[in-house]
Structure 1
Amino acid sequence: MKTGVIILAAGSSSRLGRPKQLIEFQGKNFIQKAIKEAKKSKADSFVVVLGWNPDLIKTGFDSDKIPYVINENWEEGMASSMQAGLRFLIEKEHPDQVILMLVDQPFVDSKLLDRLILEKENSGKGIVACSYLKTLGVPAIFDQSYFEEMLKLKGSEGAKKVIMKNSADVYAIDFPLGAVDLDTEGDLERLKNWEI
């Protein structure tokens, strides 16, 4: 099974007031860290989805060597960014399954991405999602059979809608650190005190 990873990094971080993508954490900025973990994982390919101020965000990683796509419609919401990444991978890499990950989930690492791939194979389910705060969300892996449904999402609809609608075909793995939210300077201060 060929696995592609979509790293969503298109947002404007409006609540924080500065781009999350470029915030330093554990010696790397968030976008570099997400790329590093995707590369280290057993996935076959990945793409970074940019949106807000792509020229600025591209200063945070080696955009000559790293595949990326710019979503001109990023302001429409999560759906269009996810779809931009998915279309890119379908066209260039022909994956059998894709993992969706967010640039601002600092505790997502290659081990977690590999676990998604492994549990999907072992469980026989079409979707494996992470469980935190009594809900299911990303990172999550989706079988090719869900690509069409993902391409039909609109506006702020994201992966969660597909996960919840197809709950009988979902396997959940615990990832409490998925709940770490980084929307304010206070959130970032607390992050500095986290020990993995």
Structure 2
Amino acid sequence: MAADAGARGEELNEGRRHLGALILAAGASTRLGQPKQMVRWNGETLVERAVRIAREAGAETVLVVLGAHHEQIFPILQPYQPELRILLNQRWAEGMGTSIALGAAVAERHSVDDLLVLTCDQVAVTAQHLRDLVAASHREHVVASTYAGRRGVPALFPEFSFHALQRLSGDRGARDLLQHEDVVHLPLPGGELDIDTPEDLEQLTAPGVSEPDTRAILGP
């Protein structure tokens, strides 16, 4: 009976695991010539899409880090508050690492146990892929996505890695942390495509391209 009670207690604790998501949306989109966060695709902006798939993946706390163009992007996200927390990174120009450090600190203060880190412009990312990252972690491992021969975000970071995230700076983001031999990695076909240039945007918004057809423009 005692063993059964212990098992039930573990199940209850497992149900209380607090999943958060950190959406990186602070960049200036200089090569694109317009804020990529506000690009509309299939009836929603890319930043709204990132919020949606994070929620569909089970994130209870969703943090969005803004920086450049925050005055334009904030009104898009305002209707999603208070469930959504919008963070302003005053140091966004120093690189993605500062946004991750800020988000990890806020996630820790909100008692997040596992943190999904993703950008808003990787259109190959789905809620199912985010759920797969969480499932592969077993609460013991950082889990990275792999594409184009490298590891990157989206990635799942358990709470033991939050302090390392808070020490990040510069434009490499969490790339170095994801190279550790203990990091589990899952393939993300097409993960290398993000919306950085007008050519990328032209591919994405070509007539007849919808979200289920993304693989067709990303390649095999």
Q: TM-score, normalised by structure 2?
A: 0.82
Please tell me whether the aligned partners of residues 125 and 170 of structure 1 are also in contact (alpha carbons under 8 angstroms).
Answer: no
Distance of aligned partners of 1:19 and 1:141 in 2 relative to their CA distance in 1, 3 Å threshold? same
Alignment partners' CA distance in 2, 1:178 and 1:150? 22
Query: Which residue in 2 is equivalent to 1:75?
Result: 93
Please tell me whether the aligned partners of residues 130 and 136 of structure 1 are also in contact (alpha carbons under 8 angstroms).
Answer: yes
Query: Which residue in 1 is equivalent to 2:142?
Result: 127
- 1:142 aligns with one of 157, 177, 196: 157
Alignment partners' CA distance in 2, 1:84 and 1:171? 24
Distance of aligned partners of 1:63 and 1:161 in 2 relative to their CA distance in 1, 3 Å threshold? farther
Instruction: Report the Cα offset of residue 62 of structure 1.
Output: 2.8
> Could you tell which deviates more after superposition, 135-144 or 64-73?
64-73
Q: Does the alignment pair 1:10 with 2:62? A: no
Q: How many percent identity over aligned positions?
A: 31
Alignment partners' CA distance in 2, 1:170 and 1:81? 21
Q: Does the alignment pair 1:189 with 2:202? A: yes
Alignment partners' CA distance in 2, 1:107 and 1:34? 11
Q: Does the alignment pair 1:32 with 2:32? A: no
Query: Which runs of 5 or more structure 2 residues have no equivalent in the other structure?
Result: 1-16, 215-220
Q: Does the alignment pair 1:51 with 2:64? A: no
CA RMSD, 1 decimal: 1.5
Instruction: Report the Cα offset of residue 67 of structure 1.
Output: 1.2
Query: Which residue in 2 is equivalent to 1:177?
Result: 190
SS state of the match for residue 104, structure 1?
A: coil
Instruction: Report the Cα offset of residue 183 of structure 1.
Output: 1.3
Instruction: Report the Cα offset of residue 17 of structure 1.
Output: 1.0
- Runs of 4+ with deviation above 4 angstroms: none
Alignment partners' CA distance in 1, 2:141 and 2:137? 7
Aligned length: 191
> Could you tell which deviates more after superposition, 175-184 or 69-78?
175-184
Alignment partners' CA distance in 1, 2:64 and 2:187? 25
Alignment partners' CA distance in 2, 1:34 and 1:162? 23
Alignment partners' CA distance in 2, 1:163 and 1:12? 24
- 2:102 aligns with one of 68, 81, 84: 84
Q: Per-residue CA shift, 1:85-107, capped at 9, x if unaligned?
A: 1111111x211221100011122
Please tell me whether the aligned partners of residues 128 and 171 of structure 1 are also in contact (alpha carbons under 8 angstroms).
Answer: yes
Q: Per-residue CA shift, 1:14-54, capped at 9, x if unaligned?
A: 11110000001111110110111111112221100001121
Structure number with larger C-alpha Rg: 2
Q: Which amino acid aligns with 1:75?
A: A
Q: TM-score, normalised by structure 1?
A: 0.91
Please tell me whether the aligned partners of residues 78 and 157 of structure 1 are also in contact (alpha carbons under 8 angstroms).
Answer: yes
